[in-house]
């Protein structure tokens, strides 16, 4: 017994159908990108106490969002994130997909270098793939340039940029379009730096397995060094925003660069004032461009915010408080009548009324090195709480969960969880 | 309690689509599963056990042509329609033969069903008397035989399905396919069913995640409605066959909110999502400098008294809500929904609030119906837009937690507490609101602080082989103690009980030994804290290990063996924060005991049977 029925029934009255849209697929030979996001970034302590460096703010979004945006805009259709240090912060933020591109997470449980990080992703990869650092803001064009220049025969293709401070990054020596040498600690003569944006094929894994570890760490650049002797490593001269935060004050520079170039997520680019529609700005508050105000923020009467200020989510700025050239991260609350210049806060910082951070050049000690005349008012790490009337000398670094009593003058480093009463 | 899916227009990906959909519906039940594909022929495969059992029985096969196949045939690759089912047993144990889809005597009709057919025995007797053979213990199996009978009388397929459905009493969401008919037929009464519309395919399912990957356009079906899909379109009709104009809703959340994304379990992922969930809940609803709470979706409510009805974790949220209402001078009581109808309290100008995460909890729905029947105004506090509770109640207030997959409720409990807190502030604008609102706005970061610094795992390591676990708290911490114990027993399978701290000495203290850790929630240093500390001393004197969940304001640490620290906050938010620490202890204890955390035995995510 067969019940025959035609489909016409559903094509007649009261039936809604959708027209099938033609889908044009661009053929991208390299579809996958590996993003190295497992590192802490020790030179950014104490801001990295609760999250890895890629999750620190660039403007008012995590650096890593800019990295993933650039990859997706360059046509990448599959993301593989190597996570480790405080990985839950990355996983929670991005979930299983970002902008409809699927994300796979690979765990590097011990941070044993960039090469070791890439090895963890080996079984997820075939053919060629892109590798980028998750802690540097880059423009899509840098990735596109590398993808377009990459040839099937190349074992590796890498972005090369001209930068004055090559000694901070590692330089390259090029002959025509071929990399002939990587210089780890270049002197001032070098101008071309390794951009940390690569296209590799499977040969990188053979190189990695032959690379000697240095005090336990396996570095990607050492493996590339080996490849130079065995195959073609192509260099691609490219330019564009390539902003790296190595030290806390760099976060101010990176945010300023993004604000100046208008690379902020949101509307109103013509006025350089980006305000989330979920923020509540008192009618008597003033926004000075460029400035970005995140969702759920509240600004009290008489608050003056900007120029060059980025407020994350749910930030509260009290009445008559002035904030200038600062990055204020999510859930931070600044009491009424405060003045903050050149200030970086972590998340959930609570500053009492009348806090004064006058800003200006400072000598700052990071690990063993002393940096002179850096523009840094103060750094308040996650969950610092201060009473009213606290004043900070330029370059103050306050550790996570520190408690600062009313009227204290802060100078230099305050360790995490310490209590300062005078 | 089951999950169903049907689809048309997926071509040779029909089977994959069904399996994917079922994996998203597993939270609704997972003791057996099955699928059917149909075009000229019908083929069925079903299996007791989790979806993996079904998956492995299908592995390597592109067609369903194995042992369980009804009709051998090779035509199934030619754009079939399909249905799939994941089951949580109500009638008959979880076996292959009780798994859906069920078929008629000719093996040409397959039916899946979520709900309970109350008159199935009577129908079955009647059909059996006519010579129909039954193979399962289920109520569902009467449906394909009813359709078969109707077709034999010469009815057209749709008419036949319609006539079969008209015979049913009870709760159902049903999908049926018939060999030789290119359509999926569906009907709804008291069980959830949504229709999904994409550019080239159409879907029917118990819940949106089943097809969210393919479309964000959905139509919510109402009770008594009948739907038909094929590869070209869809149509919804009422009981009499008249076409119903349905509005198409756009789902705003993404499939990205499902998937474990690097966490070992959904439960841990959802615990970590709480800061985000709370932000979503508060979004656009609070104005700190203005001292206001704005709940746009509610009309003017001015209840003289409030009754809460809820089950399980939601009942604990209701207890919390009732206390907040009483604190603003509105008489309020919380009732366990399944007990409510047995002894309905007097209703006069009362607002009856149903708290249900899914909006489909049968006990809560039936209590709300009882209340409405007696003239009460009703309000649903739920996570699911378009759910039955949301549609049936006079008002709906959404907790906006996003989809929750883990059977043990975590983020939705937090969001329920905050939503109820917002509700009382909304009804009672008062002077001190600004401070309370500041406390709410600080909540996401306070939860994050716990997630960053918790020592819950060490506590779990120390105590996960104890005899029993007790949780005590007073005032707003009483529901937290109950919830802490419920979470612990649900996923660890260990004996755990929560008590109001003062009740301990009236009986349960007899259970306390050196091998029964007691979790005491103590915040602030007021009267309640001092009294709970007195109870802590009682258990300490019996050598029980004490774990204090505290903000460190009182000196409870002196009497505790361990401390689970929470940030200092307001009384109404402290309860929520303490609960996060207890969620983490339960999670880690269950993980150390090797329990299947996301799918505890015998439990299902939303219980749609009474």
- In 3D, which of B387, B452, B383, B440 has the Cα closest to residue B413? B383
DSSP state of B251: P
Does the pLDDT at position A1 exceed 60?
no
Does the pLDDT at position B604 exceed 80?
no
| pLDDT band, residue B261 (cuts 50/70/90) | confident
Question: Which residue has better confidence, A163 or B430?
Answer: A163
Instruction: Return the exposure string of B553-592: e unless at least 16 CB atoms fall within 10 Å of the residue's CB, then b.
Output: ebebeebbbbbbbbbebbbbbbbbbbbbbbbbbbbbbbbe
Question: Which residue has better confidence, A255 or A123?
Answer: A255
Q: What is the pLDDT of residues A10-31, one digit of tens each?
A: 443 334 443 333 333 333 468 8
Q: What is the pLDDT of residues B327-354, one digit of tens each?
A: 999 999 999 999 998 889 998 889 999 9
- In 3D, which of B443, B442, B481 has the Cα closest to residue B274? B443
Q: What is the pLDDT of residues A45-82, one digit of tens each?
A: 999 999 999 999 999 999 999 999 999 999 898 899 99
DSSP state of B480: H
Determine whether the interchain pair B231/A88 forms a contact, defined as Cβ–Cβ distance below 8 Å.
no
Q: Quick check: helix, strand or coil at residue B572?
A: helix
Parse chain A into domains and list their residue ranges. Answer: 32-244, 257-420
| pLDDT band, residue B223 (cuts 50/70/90) | confident
Contacts of B128 (CB under 8 A, 6+ apart): B134
State the CATH architecture for A257-420.
3 Solenoid (2.160)
Question: Which residue has better confidence, A168 or B435?
Answer: B435
Q: Is A15 on the interface with B (CB under 8 A)?
A: yes
In chain B, CATH 3.40.50.10490 covers: 259-441, 449-610
Determine whether the interchain pair B263/A4 forms a contact, defined as Cβ–Cβ distance below 8 Å.
no
| pLDDT band, residue B177 (cuts 50/70/90) | very high
**pLDDT given for residue A270 in this prediction:** 63
- Of all residues in chain A, the one with the smallest CA distance to B152 is A1
Average pLDDT of B205-216? Answer: 89
- Between CA B10 and CA B20, with CA B15 as vertex, the angle to 5 degrees is 95
B377 among known catalytic residues = no
Does the pLDDT at position A189 exceed 90?
no
Determine whether the interchain pair A16/B197 forms a contact, defined as Cβ–Cβ distance below 8 Å.
yes
In chain B, CATH 3.60.20.10 covers: 2-115+171-255
Q: What is the pLDDT of residues A118-159, one digit of tens each?
A: 999 998 888 899 999 999 999 999 999 999 998 888 889 999
- In 3D, which of B45, B55, B188, B47 has the Cα closest to residue B113? B188
- Of all residues in chain A, the one with the smallest CA distance to B264 is A88
Determine whether the interchain pair A3/B180 forms a contact, defined as Cβ–Cβ distance below 8 Å.
yes
**pLDDT given for residue B498 in this prediction:** 96
Phi, psi angle pair for B342, to nearest 5°: -70, -25
Token pair recorded at residue A421: 């009463």
**pLDDT given for residue A118 in this prediction:** 95
Instruction: Return the exposure string of A261-274: e unless at least 16 CB atoms fall within 10 Å of the residue's CB, then b.
Output: eebbebeeeeebbb
Token pair recorded at residue B290: 């203005």
Does the pLDDT at position B456 exceed 90?
yes
Q: What is the pLDDT of residues B537-551, one digit of tens each?
A: 999 988 999 999 999
Determine whether the interchain pair B259/A96 forms a contact, defined as Cβ–Cβ distance below 8 Å.
yes
**pLDDT given for residue B251 in this prediction:** 75
Does the pLDDT at position A4 exceed 90?
no
Rounded Cα distance between A317 and A404, Å, is 19
Does the pLDDT at position B404 exceed 90?
no
Rounded Cα distance between A130 and B576, Å, is 44
Does the pLDDT at position B69 exceed 50?
no
What DSSP element (H or E) covers B162?
A: helix B157-166
Average pLDDT of B52-58? Answer: 82
Rounded Cα distance between A110 and B88, Å, is 42
Question: Which residue has better confidence, B608 or A71?
Answer: A71
Q: Angle between the B312-327 and B477-492 helix axes, to the nearest 10 degrees?
A: 170
Interface residue of B289, B441, B450, B453 to substitute, partner A, most A CBs within 10 Å: B289
- Between CA A347 and CA B582, with CA B442 as vertex, the angle to 5 degrees is 95
Rounded Cα distance between B515 and B468, Å, is 7
Does the pLDDT at position B64 exceed 50?
no
B200 contact residues in A (CB cutoff 8 A):
18, 20
| Contact (CB, 8 A) for B8 and B59 | no
**Total count of residues recorded for chain A:** 422
A94 contact residues in B (CB cutoff 8 A):
261
Looking at beta carbons, which pairs linking B485-490 to residues 24 or more positions away fall under 8 Å? B486/B312, B486/B313, B486/B316, B487/B313, B487/B408, B487/B410, B487/B582, B487/B583, B487/B586, B488/B582, B488/B585, B488/B586, B488/B589, B490/B407, B490/B408, B490/B586, B490/B600, B490/B603
What DSSP element (H or E) covers B55?
A: helix B51-58
A101 contact residues in B (CB cutoff 8 A):
none
**pLDDT given for residue B598 in this prediction:** 85
- Judged by average pLDDT, the poorest of A128-132, B371-375, B507-511 is B507-511
Q: What is the pLDDT of residues A302-361, one digit of tens each?
A: 999 989 999 999 999 999 999 999 999 999 999 999 999 999 999 999 999 999 999 889
A330 contact residues in B (CB cutoff 8 A):
445
Average pLDDT of A230-256? Answer: 91
Instruction: Return the exposure string of A205-244: e unless at least 16 CB atoms fall within 10 Å of the residue's CB, then b.
Output: bebbeebeeeeeebbbbbbbbbbbeeeebbbbebebbbbb
Say if domain B2-115+171-255 classifies as CATH 3.60.20.10.
Answer: yes
- Of all residues in chain B, the one with the smallest CA distance to A98 is B256
- In 3D, which of B534, B543, B497 has the Cα closest to residue B519? B497
Interface residue of A6, A8, A14 to substitute, partner B, most B CBs within 10 Å: A14
Parallel/antiparallel/unpaired status of strands A101-107 and A78-83:
parallel
Residues 171-210 of A with CB under 8 A from B: none
Token pair recorded at residue B120: 């199935």
DSSP state of B98: T
Q: Is A370 on the interface with B (CB under 8 A)?
A: no
pTM for the full predicted model: 0.80
Query: What does CATH list as the number for B449-610?
Result: 3.40.50.10490
Average pLDDT of A101-127? Answer: 90
Question: pLDDT averaged over chain B?
Answer: 89
- In 3D, which of A136, A139, A142 has the Cα closest to residue A198? A142
**pLDDT given for residue B608 in this prediction:** 66
Query: What does CATH list as the number for A32-244?
Result: 3.90.550.10
**pLDDT given for residue A12 in this prediction:** 38
Rounded Cα distance between B523 and A66, Å, is 41
Phi, psi angle pair for B129, to nearest 5°: -60, -30
Check the CA dihedral B100-B104-B108-B113 and report its sign: negative
| pLDDT band, residue B505 (cuts 50/70/90) | confident
Does the pLDDT at position B520 exceed 90?
yes
Contacts of B112 (CB under 8 A, 6+ apart): B2, B4, B6, B34, B36, B83, B84, B85, B100, B101, B102, B140, B174, B175, B176
What DSSP element (H or E) covers B489?
A: helix B477-492
- In 3D, which of A331, A313, A309 has the Cα closest to residue A384? A331
B281 among known catalytic residues = no
Cis peptide preceding A290, ω within 30 of 0: yes
Ramachandran class of B54: left when φ > 0, alpha when ψ lies in -120 to 50, beta otherwise: alpha
**Look-up of token digits 């499902």:** B258
Rounded Cα distance between B22 and B54, Å, is 11
Burial of residue A2, with CB atoms counted within 10 A of its CB: 0-12 exposed, 13-18 middle, 19 or more buried: exposed
| Contact (CB, 8 A) for A287 and A293 | yes
Question: pLDDT averaged over chain A?
Answer: 88
Average pLDDT of B374-400? Answer: 91
- In 3D, which of A166, A157, A343, A326 has the Cα closest to residue A242? A166
Parallel/antiparallel/unpaired status of strands B202-205 and B2-8:
antiparallel
User: Which value, to the nearest 10 degrees, does the dihedral of the CA atoms of residues B577, B582, B583, B586 take?
Assistant: 170
**pLDDT given for residue B388 in this prediction:** 84
Task: Point out which residues pair with A293 in neighbouring strands.
Answer: A275, A311
| Contact (CB, 8 A) for A119 and A208 | yes
Determine whether the interchain pair A348/B448 forms a contact, defined as Cβ–Cβ distance below 8 Å.
yes
Among the four given CATH numbers 3.40.50.10490, 3.40.830.10, 1.25.40.10, 3.40.50.970, the one describing domain B259-441: 3.40.50.10490
- Of all residues in chain B, the one with the smallest CA distance to A7 is B182
């Amino acid at each position: 017994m067969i019940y025959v029925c035609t489909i016409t029934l559903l094509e007649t009255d009261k039936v809604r159908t959708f027209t099938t849209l033609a889908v044009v697929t661009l053929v991208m030979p390299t579809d996958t990108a590996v993003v190295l996001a497992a590192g802490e970034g020790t030179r950014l302590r104490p801001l990295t106490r609760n999250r890895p460096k890629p999750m620190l703010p660039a403007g008012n979004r995590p650096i890593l969002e800019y990295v993933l945006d650039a990859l997706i805009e360059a046509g990448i259709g599959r993301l593989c994130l190597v996570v480790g240090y405080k990985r839950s912060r990355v996983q929670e933020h991005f979930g299983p997909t970002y902008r409809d591109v699927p994300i796979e997470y690979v765990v590097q449980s011990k941070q044993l270098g960039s090469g070791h990080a890439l090895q963890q992703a080996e079984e997820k990869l075939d053919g060629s793939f892109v590798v980028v650092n998750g802690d540097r803001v880059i423009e899509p064009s840098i990735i596109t340039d590398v993808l377009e220049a990459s040839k099937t025969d190349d074992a590796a293709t890498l972005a090369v940029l001209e930068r004055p401070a090559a000694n901070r990054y590692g330089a390259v020596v090029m002959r025509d379009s071929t990399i002939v040498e990587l210089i780890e600690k270049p002197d001032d003569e070098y101008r071309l730096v390794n951009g940390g944006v690569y296209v590799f094929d499977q040969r990188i894994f053979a190189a990695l397995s032959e690379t000697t570890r240095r005090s336990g760490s396996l570095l990607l650049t050492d493996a590339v060094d080996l490849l130079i002797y065995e195959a073609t490593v192509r260099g691609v001269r490219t330019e564009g925003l390539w902003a790296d935060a190595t030290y806390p004050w760099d976060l101010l520079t990176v945010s300023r660069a993004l604000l100046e170039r208008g690379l902020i997520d949101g509307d109103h680019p013509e006025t350089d004032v980006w305000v989330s529609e979920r923020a509540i700005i008192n009618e008597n508050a003033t926004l000075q461009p460029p400035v970005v105000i995140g969702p759920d923020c509240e600004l009290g009467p008489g608050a003056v915010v900007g120029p060059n200020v980025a407020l994350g989510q749910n930030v509260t700025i009290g009445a008559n408080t002035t904030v200038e050239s600062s990055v204020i991260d999510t859930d931070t609350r600044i009491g009424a009548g405060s003045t903050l210049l050149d200030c970086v806060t972590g998340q959930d910082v609570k500053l009492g009324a009348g806090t004064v951070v006058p800003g200006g050049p400072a000598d700052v000690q990071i690990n063993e090195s002393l940096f002179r005349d850096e523009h840094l008012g103060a750094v308040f790490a996650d969950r610092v709480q201060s009473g009213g009337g606290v004043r900070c000398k330029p370059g103050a670094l306050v550790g996570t969960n520190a408690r600062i009593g009313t009227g204290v003058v802060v100078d230099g480093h305050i360790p995490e969880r310490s209590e300062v009463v005078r | 309690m089951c999950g169903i899916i049907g689809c048309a227009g997926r071509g040779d990906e029909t089977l994959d689509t069904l399996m994917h959909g079922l994996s998203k519906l597993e939270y609704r039940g997972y003791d057996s599963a099955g699928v059917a594909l149909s075009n000229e022929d019908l083929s069925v495969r079903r299996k007791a056990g989790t979806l993996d059992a079904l998956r492995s029985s299908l592995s390597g096969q592109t067609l369903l042509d194995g042992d369980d196949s009804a009709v051998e045939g090779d035509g199934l690759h030619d754009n079939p329609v399909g249905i799939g089912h994941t089951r949580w047993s109500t009638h008959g144990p979880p076996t292959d033969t009780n798994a859906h889809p069920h078929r008629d005597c000719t093996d040409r009709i397959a039916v899946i069903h979520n709900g309970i057919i109350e008159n199935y025995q009577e129908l079955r007797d009647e059909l059996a008397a006519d010579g129909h053979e039954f193979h399962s213990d289920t109520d569902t199996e009467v449906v394909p035989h009813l359709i078969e009978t109707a077709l034999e009388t010469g009815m057209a397929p749709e008419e036949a399905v319609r006539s079969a459905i008209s015979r049913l009493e009870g709760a159902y969401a049903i999908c049926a396919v018939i060999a030789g008919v290119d359509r999926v037929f569906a009907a709804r009464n008291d069980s959830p069913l949504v229709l999904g519309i994409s550019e080239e395919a159409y879907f029917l399912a118990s819940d949106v995640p089943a097809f969210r990957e393919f479309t964000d356009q959905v139509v919510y079906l109402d009770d008594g409605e009948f739907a038909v899909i094929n590869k070209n379109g869809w149509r919804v009709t009422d009981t009499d066959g008249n076409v119903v104009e349905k509005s198409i809703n756009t789902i705003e959340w993404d499939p990205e909110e499902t998937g474990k994304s690097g966490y070992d379990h959904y439960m841990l992922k959802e615990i970590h999502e709480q800061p985000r969930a709370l932000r979503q809940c508060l979004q656009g609803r609070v104005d700190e400098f203005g001292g206001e709470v704005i709940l746009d979706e509610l009309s003017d409510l001015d209840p003289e008294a409030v009754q809460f009805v809820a089950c399980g974790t939601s009942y604990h949220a209701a207890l919390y809500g009732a206390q907040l209402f009483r604190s603003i001078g509105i008489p309020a009581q919380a009732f366990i929904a399944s007990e409510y109808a047995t002894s309905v309290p007097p209703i006069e100008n009362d607002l009856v609030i149903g708290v249900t995460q899914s909006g489909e909890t049968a006990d809560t729905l039936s209590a709300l119906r009882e209340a409405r029947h007696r003239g009460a105004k009703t309000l649903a506090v739920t996570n699911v837009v378009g759910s039955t509770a949301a549609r049936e109640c006079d008002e709906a207030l959404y907790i906006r937690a996003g989809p929750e997959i883990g059977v043990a409720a975590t983020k939705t409990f937090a969001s329920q507490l905050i939503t109820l807190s917002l509700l009382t502030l909304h009804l009672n604008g008062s002077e001190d609101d600004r401070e309370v609102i500041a406390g709410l706005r600080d909540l996401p970061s306070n939860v994050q602080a716990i997630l960053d610094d918790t020592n819950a795992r060490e506590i779990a390591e120390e105590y996960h082989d104890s005899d029993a676990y007790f949780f005590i708290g007073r005032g707003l911490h009483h529901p937290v103690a109950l919830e802490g114990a419920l979470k612990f027993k649900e996923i660890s399978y260990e004996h755990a009980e929560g008590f109001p701290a003062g009740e301990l000495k009236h009986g349960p203290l007899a259970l306390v030994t050196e091998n029964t850790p007691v979790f005491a929630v103590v915040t602030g240093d007021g009267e309640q804290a001092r009294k709970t500390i007195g109870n802590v001393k009682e258990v300490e004197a019996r050598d029980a290990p004490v774990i204090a969940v505290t903000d460190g304001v009182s000196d409870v640490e002196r009497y505790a063996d361990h401390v689970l620290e929470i940030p200092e906050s307001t009384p109404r938010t402290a309860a929520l924060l303490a609960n996060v620490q207890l969620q983490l202890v339960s999670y880690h204890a269950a993980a150390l005991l090797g329990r299947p955390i996301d799918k505890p035995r015998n439990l299902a995510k939303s219980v749609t049977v009474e």
